[in-house]
Amino acid sequence: MLYVCSARPGCGSSSASPGTERRVHRLLSFQRYLHSSRLLRGITQQIPLPILDEDYSGQARCMLEKVGSWNFDVFLFDRLTNGNSLITLTFHLLNQYGLVELFQLDMVKLWRFLVLVQEDYHNDNPYHNSVHAADVTQAMFCFLQEPMLANSLTSYDILLGLLAAATHDLDHPGVNQLFLIKTDHYLATLYRNTSVLENHHWKSAVGLLRETGLFSHLPADDRDLGSLILATDISRQNDYLSRFRMHLDQGNLCLSSASHRHFVLQMALKCADICNPCRPWELSKQWSEKVTGEFFQQGDIERKHKLEVGPLCDRETNTVGKIQIDFMTYVAEPLFAEWARFSDTCLSQTMLGHMGLNKASWGGLQQEQTPVSEEAEPSAAGGSSSKEMPQGSRES
């Protein structure tokens, strides 16, 4: 295994015997590679939360009663759970669906799996951290509750959908694929410059499933999880969207077919992953600032090392609002318009409504920040609503 040696020169065997499986996973992990892991330092693994849900704090438990609300404030939930939103939320949802019992999941293995998943997110990433994973898992739950899905999905589909959401950005390094390619990172070589991050998230998730033995008693296929996580590669959005549009035009999505259900799960996960613009302004704005912060952080590294600065990563030529408006126009709106055709519900209309308002608000903030001399016309998008918005943003 070339990547083992290239990650840590001179280390380890390249055999894939069961005894080295754990070691290989650890070496694949950016987090454990870059920040010497507890394991490598010989510190015993500590479980950060007591095992059963009686120990959730009262307020966090209260929030879980409304876990299907589109206004769910995952930032607050993360604070109430002492930074354990991903573990707590996923554990709750799996129990709420009765999946632990149905699939006879070992409670200790499950808990250990979730702890490792949360640990393998990098909480020093401004955006791609465990709170984003918790947010995507909560959004996925909202979509799974939609009648089109709730009436057709099997328990296995639901289990897969929730686990894919929780693990879809596992061990994300906080930089994009382009950065990994131009710095000749071993993962780019390993995955031949194609869906590099998504392949790594998937393989990391499979590593944790094997390490904990969570599904060792089930005939689960890793590829099902993989194809869901791979669908979150934004560069392949047009492929998925064209296929989705074609099915909707022809009215031939048949949810009794396992492959069509799987495709719908892929679309649901894609929507969950990029649903930030569809959340209420106060939540959406925070996500926008975080993701832009991560882009700009990458741009700073690129500039420092005299690499070409990526298109969204230059803090001198971009603003949060500009990036958001373009993202909504070219990526989010086309996707959510089709999703609303497929699932024409109150939630879909609410999401489109929020996106329209958020776009207008960023437009308004952009205008306020444009110097008077450069201002072509003092009218246009979002002028009135901007007055209602909190002023300013960190990056701009």
117 in Cβ contact with 175 (< 8 Å)? no
Q: How far apart are the first and last CA of the chain?
A: 45
- Nearest approach in angstroms of CB 325 to Zn ion is 20
| Catalytic residue, candidates 25, 92, 128, 200 | 128
- Nearest approach in angstroms of CB 167 to Zn ion is 10
- Nearest approach in angstroms of CB 342 to Zn ion is 21
**Residue at token pair 């949060």:** 320
Interface stretch with Zn ion, choices 150-158, 167-175, 178-186, 264-272 (CB under 5 A): 167-175
Interaxial angle between packed helices 281-304 and 320-327, expressed in degrees from 0 to 180 and rounded to the nearest 10? 110
Cβ proximity to Zn ion: between 52 and 330 the closer is 330
Interface stretch with Zn ion, choices 70-78, 239-247, 272-280, 298-306 (CB under 5 A): 272-280
Cβ proximity to Zn ion: between 130 and 367 the closer is 130
Interface stretch with Zn ion, choices 32-40, 154-162, 270-278, 365-373 (CB under 5 A): 270-278
Q: Give the Cα separation of 185 and 338 in Å (integer).
A: 36
SS3 sequence of 6-25: HHCCCCCCCCCCHHHHHHHH
Q: Is the dihedral of CA 189, 192, 194, 198 positive or negative?
A: negative
Site residues for Zn ion, window 372-391 (CB under 5 A)?
A: none
Active site residue 128: yes
**Residue list for the binding site:** 128-132, 168-169, 273, 324
Return the CA Rg of the chain: 21
Q: Give the Cα separation of 372 and 361 in Å (integer).
A: 19
Cβ neighbors of 350 (< 8 A, separation 6 or more) are: 70, 278
Size of the site for Zn ion (CB under 5 A): 2
Cβ proximity to Zn ion: between 56 and 191 the closer is 191
Q: Is 169 in the site for Zn ion (CB under 5 A)?
A: yes
Q: Is 146 in the site for Zn ion (CB under 5 A)?
A: no
Site residues for Zn ion, window 2-31 (CB under 5 A)?
A: none
Q: Is the dihedral of CA 73, 79, 80, 85 positive or negative?
A: positive
Interface stretch with Zn ion, choices 164-172, 340-348, 353-361, 377-385 (CB under 5 A): 164-172
Cβ proximity to Zn ion: between 330 and 344 the closer is 330
Q: Give the Cα separation of 54 and 212 in Å (integer).
A: 24
Cβ proximity to Zn ion: between 273 and 302 the closer is 273
Q: Is 78 in the site for Zn ion (CB under 5 A)?
A: no
**Residue list for the binding site for Zn(2+):** 132, 168-169, 273
Q: Give the Cα separation of 31 and 119 in Å (integer).
A: 9
Interface stretch with Zn ion, choices 24-32, 51-59, 169-177, 258-266 (CB under 5 A): 169-177
- Nearest approach in angstroms of CB 169 to Zn ion is 4
Amino acid letter for position 132: H
87 in Cβ contact with 115 (< 8 Å)? yes
The DSSP line for 337-372 is HHHHHHS-SHHHHHHHHHHHHHHHHHHHHHHHHS-G
Q: Is 135 in the site for Zn ion (CB under 5 A)?
A: no
Cβ proximity to Zn ion: between 119 and 169 the closer is 169
Give the angle 69-336-252 at the CA atoms, nearest 5°: 110
> Hey, how many other C-beta atoms are within 10 angstroms of the C-beta on 211?
16
Q: Is 273 in the site for Zn ion (CB under 5 A)?
A: yes
User: Catalytic residue positions?
Assistant: 128
Residues lying near Zn ion in the complex (CB under 5 A) are found at: 169, 273
